[in-house]
Structure 1
Amino acid sequence: MKTFTALFAAATLALGANVALAKDVQPDQVVKLVQSQQIQSLDVLKQKALEQHSGSTVTDSELEEEYGRYIYKVELRDAQNVEWDVDLDAKTGEVLKNERDS
């Protein structure tokens, strides 16, 4: 039982550490990042996300910094009312995740 408790505690701490490493980027900082060309404009990134699912609309979006990398997270709803999570590298526009929301 002690082994199970120790494993559970370690897993919880590891998960908590990963969550703590992602932080939201504030709007004033977004402007500076775009102006310094550290990231693409959010309009361009949003369009790239929309291209993944024709006829979809954006329901939510946010820019986060994870492990020193800026990730633009977009939630979409397609014409069939299916929700999608699309993550893009905010500097390159590369699609990092494109998954159906569960």
Structure 2
Amino acid sequence: MKTLTTLITAATLTLGANLAMARDLGPDEALRLRDAGTIQSFEKLNEAALAKHPGATIGDTELEEEYGRHIYQLELRDDKGVEWDLELDAKTGEVLKDHRDD
């Protein structure tokens, strides 16, 4: 009986951990969310990120869904060559994370 309880507990924890992970959204879904007004336009989100680091250039971008929230991730390189990782709330444009990439 203990073995069965242990297996059920392990399966439940594994399932819960998988459900909590972030999900990458493809271009079609991202455009659908933008067109529906669920997230801001990528131009506005890029402007918000560049306002934190004037003169920087945008590298990679990615849209994820984390715990029901849409997160826009960007990599920036400033005019001194320093790389920055930013995360923005894709609905509000609020900067959630802004740290130097090591």
SS at the partner of 1:49?
A: helix
Matches within 5 A, 1:65-80: 65-80=65-80
Partner residue, 1:46 = 46
Task: Could you list the structure 1 runs, at least 4 aligned residues long, displaced by more than 6 angstroms after superposition.
Answer: none
> How many residue pairs are counted as aligned between the two chains?
88
Partner residue, 2:98 = 98
Quote the RMSD (CA, aligned, Å): 2.0
Pairing 1:24–2:24 present: yes
Measured after TM superposition, the shift of residue 21 of structure 1 is: 1.0
Deviations 1:18-76 (A, max 9, x none): 7x611111111111101110000111101111111011000111000000000000000
Partner residue, 2:86 = 86
TM-score using structure 2 length: 0.80
Q: Which runs of 5+ in 2 are unaligned?
A: 1-12
Q: 2 CA distance for matches of 1:35 and 1:61?
A: 19
SS at the partner of 1:51?
A: helix
TM-score using structure 1 length: 0.80
Larger Rg: 2
Q: 2 CA distance for matches of 1:54 and 1:34?
A: 25
Give the letter aligned to residue 24 of structure 1.
D
- The percentage of counterpart residues that share the same residue type is 56
SS at the partner of 1:37?
A: coil
